[in-house]
Structure 1
Amino acid sequence: MLRRRGNLQSLAGFLEIPQDIVLDMPRITMLGNKQLLVENHRGIIEYTPSLVRIKLNQGELCILGEDLMLGNLQAEQILVEGVVQEVKYDL
Structure 2
Amino acid sequence: MAIFDKSSTEKSIQSLARTFKDTGYGYGKLRNFSEVPLFLDSKASRLIQLADLVSYSIFRKFELNDDEFYKIIEHSFDYNNGKVHGLYVAH
Select the structure that is richer in helix: 2
* Same fold, judged at TM 0.5 (above): no
